[in-house]
Amino acid sequence: MKEHKRILGLDFGSKTVGVAVSDPFLLVAQSLETIKRERENKLRQTLARIDEIIAEYDVGSIVLGFPKNMNNTLGERCEKTLEFKDMLVERTGLEVVLWDERLTSIEAERVLMDTGVRRENRKQYIDKIAASFILQSYLGYLGNCRDNEKQEESDI
């Protein structure tokens, strides 16, 4: 199986960024950390930390959770996410893919409850787990694309 550059998954929030990274084979997402900041618009240190992670894990692209509303409309968080995407592209030079993140935080909360994490401790984990769900969903999509390509090749 061929190794690839890893993919970074990000869950961008108003005061935190959940971070996850793929394995070198692009099969499994692993939660890494939650980057915290004092104010929403203070992103310099956040971007610097993302640069460090990209270098450390040999990242080749980024998947950024896109927080559409449940009715598929785009709200204020989507606008802020698009601005953050532009900053990431400009700073890193990497491709940044927007990925629907609806329900990932709810799913992460459910996993934490099911594993017995106390309510007061969940906040420190939820963003990085949500990032891993965003990334895992994208990795599943890539895997399906690869499987379909293989199927088409065998049909020829």
pLDDT at 152: 64
pLDDT at 151: 63
For 28-45, the pLDDT digits (tens) are: 999 999 999 988 778 999
76 or 154: whose pLDDT is higher? 76
Query: How does the average pLDDT of the chain come out, rounded?
Result: 87
Entry field: residues in the chain? 156
- Whole-angstrom distance, CA of residue 19 vs CA of residue 144: 23
Instruction: Reply yes or no on whether the pLDDT at 147 is more than 90.
Output: no
Mean pLDDT calculated for residue range 102-125: 75
133 or 68: whose pLDDT is higher? 133
Instruction: Reply yes or no on whether the pLDDT at 156 is more than 70.
Output: no
User: Does residue 70 sit in helix, strand or coil?
Assistant: coil
For 17-27, the pLDDT digits (tens) are: 999 999 999 99
Instruction: Reply yes or no on whether the pLDDT at 150 is more than 80.
Output: no
Instruction: Reply yes or no on whether the pLDDT at 126 is more than 90.
Output: no
B/e letters for 7-34, b = 16+ CB within 10 Å, e = fewer, are bbbbbbbeebbbbbbbeeebeebbbbbb
pLDDT at 23: 96
pLDDT band with cut points at 50, 70 and 90 for residue 107: confident
* Highest CATH level, class, for 6-151: alpha beta
Mean pLDDT calculated for residue range 102-106: 70
**pTM, entire model:** 0.85
Mean pLDDT calculated for residue range 126-151: 84
